[in-house]
Amino acid sequence: MMRKLFAASAAFLAAACTTIPQRQATPPVEIQILAFNDFHGNLETPPPVDVTEADGTKHKIVSGGAAHLAAALSGLRAGHPNTVTVSAGDTIGASPLISANYLDEPTIDAMNMLGLEFNSVGNHEFDKGIAELKRMQSGGCAKYTLRTPCAVEPFAGARFHYLAANVVQEDGGTIFPPSGIKTFETPAGPIIIGFIGMTLKGTKQLVTPSGVRGVSFADEAASANALVPKLKAEGADAIVLLIHQGGKTTNFTTGNGCDGLYGDILPILPKLDPAIATIVSGHTHWAYVCRGTQQVGAGRLLTSAGKYGYFVTDLRLRFNPRTHRLLGQDASNVIVGNGEHGDDPAVKGLVDRYAAAVAPVGNRVIGHLTATARKNDEDGESPAADLVADSMLAATRTAEMGGAQLALVNSTGVRVDLPGGDVRYKDSFAMMPFGNNLVVMTLTGTQLKAALEQQYAIPLRAKATRPTVLAPSAGFTYAVDLTKPEGSRVSDLRLNDAAVNPGGRYRVVLNNYLASGGDGISAFTEGTDVTDRGIIDLDALVAWIARGQTPPSDSRIRLSH
């Protein structure tokens, strides 16, 4: 009887459908996209962050950590059958010790567990070179860096898809697929979304040149637009761009405003094909939701979820159930919190395993420093940078290790002060997190002066009163007069009190970032007799502190103006 009644009413409904208007019969189909960016290996809850509310009041929020992020994502997905999770790059790289010490393998594992499906590459994905990035995708324990892969457990690689639409190899192909398709089986039939992923075209200036040799980073809008016909041919009902480039707003808020949007994403937006209506951005570490403003474009949505897993952007795209046309969309940033959405037990288990593994590594006392070695906030010469230069020289001074006579280090790469007293490994890691290796080369006196001149040719950064400098090791001094014209600002180069001879040959130790032309100092690429014994800069610092040190006095560069 029940079945008969049901069949009869179904028949009635089927007949009624022809007369009742479509929009009344079936509501729009909603697709949920959960997005974040710039996670940077923050498996554990990062330090509190200051946010400004709409009324101008400031307060701190504690938010993030992979287990909290996973739980927040699960909560947001509840009741949404059509959902996909994506990231706009810098998921790995510049990570805390718990992830960096293990080549970010646990972060990839965490991303697998929390259901990430598409991840655009960002600049930091290239920190350890392309071969190592490909290992992040495909897994395995092949060694492409000085650290030991698979140190805690085997590594199977990412189950999500890296996308790299503008990272072009010499053969014209991209290093990862440029785009991906996700099909949602809905009662209104399949809704298809195309995802394009890319990093900023300026990536080459932000990473160690030797790690990205042989690839170029193409224009963002041109690369994205070229994929639109292909995605349409594959049936895409909407196209979402995951781009590791972004903007900033006037204040760092909890992420739902767009006031005063500025930044490098803006010139890209008007060039994008109108079919790209949804843009998930990143790189600036800012959080915003911009809806259809003049800057963003009518009907368009531009979002970013800050950094470190503080926020998740919950995007909703609504489609006409009959034509599958995109009817509208909206988004909001949700605070991940510090456990308010719960803890994902599996992800927590992973994080706990790696926290236990890294604790003895991080807490090990490596030596003693008589006082805090301070960093200069404007990246000028500093006791911290000089201390690093001294450690590099000490590690490579012997003929066997390269026979270095002097060291130069980019002070921007020296991240924080090194606290005085007993120094722990985690303190030295925080100061030198990049894991560059030391390269010794021969430069003539002329080439050495050219390199020093080039550092002062870099335009002053917005608020800096001094240029960012190459900090020298003890015994190497020079004078600078910034009022002189470019190319003649550096004088009186001395090594152990003897004047540097233009025709003389000097063994100079640098990190591999500078040695391969980083920071625009091309003179270092002219070095000869290049020696790389595989010493990591951080290990050199650790060995130096182990001998017991006093912070240098930061008086090796004499600045006349």
Number of H helices, E strands in the chain: 13, 27
The residue (of 127 and 554) whose beta carbon lies closer to Zn ion is 127
Min. distance of Cβ 287 from Zn ion in angstroms?
15
Is residue 122 a contact residue for Zn ion (CB under 5 A)?
yes
Give the CB-side neighbour count of residue 17, counting CA atoms within 13 A: 9
Choose one: 84-92, 161-169, 367-375, 463-471; the region binding Zn ion (CB under 5 A): 84-92
Q: Closest CB to Zn ion among 124 and 375?
A: 124
Does residue 45 belong to the site contacting Zn ion (CB under 5 A)?
Answer: no
Regarding 145 and contact with Zn ion (CB under 5 A), the answer is no
Amino acid type, 235: G
Choice from 42, 123, 376, 473 touching Zn ion (CB under 5 A):
123
Stretch that binds Zn ion, among 29-37, 105-113, 118-126, 430-438 (CB under 5 A): 118-126
Token pair belonging to 41: 């290996």
Q: How far is the CB of 374 from Zn ion (least distance, A)?
A: 27
- CA angle 282/288/294 to nearest 5° reads 100
Q: Which member of 128, 283, 324, 466 binds Zn ion (CB under 5 A)? A: 283
Region from 68-76, 86-94, 176-184, 415-423 binding Zn ion, contact rule CB under 5 A: 86-94
CA–CA dist 438, 401 (Å, integer): 10
The residues with which 318 forms a beta bridge, in sequence order, are 30, 328
CA gap 71, 133 in Å, rounded: 27
- Contact characters 230-269, Zn ion, x per CB under 5 A: ----------------------------------------
Listed in sequence order, the residues at least 6 apart from 187 whose beta carbon sits closer than 8 Å to its beta carbon are 26, 29, 321
CB of 470 to Zn ion, least distance (A): 24
Residues forming beta bridges with residue 149, ordered by sequence position: none
Contacts of 164 (CB under 8 A, 6+ apart): 120, 121, 174, 175, 176, 177, 178, 197, 198, 199
Nearest residue to Zn ion on Cβ basis: 283
User: Nearer to Zn ion by C-beta: 199 or 549?
Assistant: 199
Q: Which is nearer to Zn ion, 124 or 374 (CB)?
A: 124
Q: Which is nearer to Zn ion, 123 or 223 (CB)?
A: 123
**Shorter beta-carbon distance to Zn ion: residue 93 or 149:** 93
Contact assessment for residue 217 and residue 130, using Cβ atoms and an 8 Å cutoff = no
By the rule CB under 5 A, 90 interacts with Zn ion: yes
> Can you say whether residue 255 is alpha, beta or left, with left for phi > 0 and alpha for psi between -120 and 50 degrees?
left
Supply the minimum distance, in Å, between the C-beta of residue 215 and Zn ion: 17
* CB 86 within 8 Å of CB 240: yes
Binding to Zn ion in span 300-359, by CB under 5 A: none
Give, as ranges, the residues between 470 and 529 that touch Zn ion (CB under 5 A): none
Residues forming contacts to Zn ion in the complex (CB under 5 A) are: 90, 122-123, 283
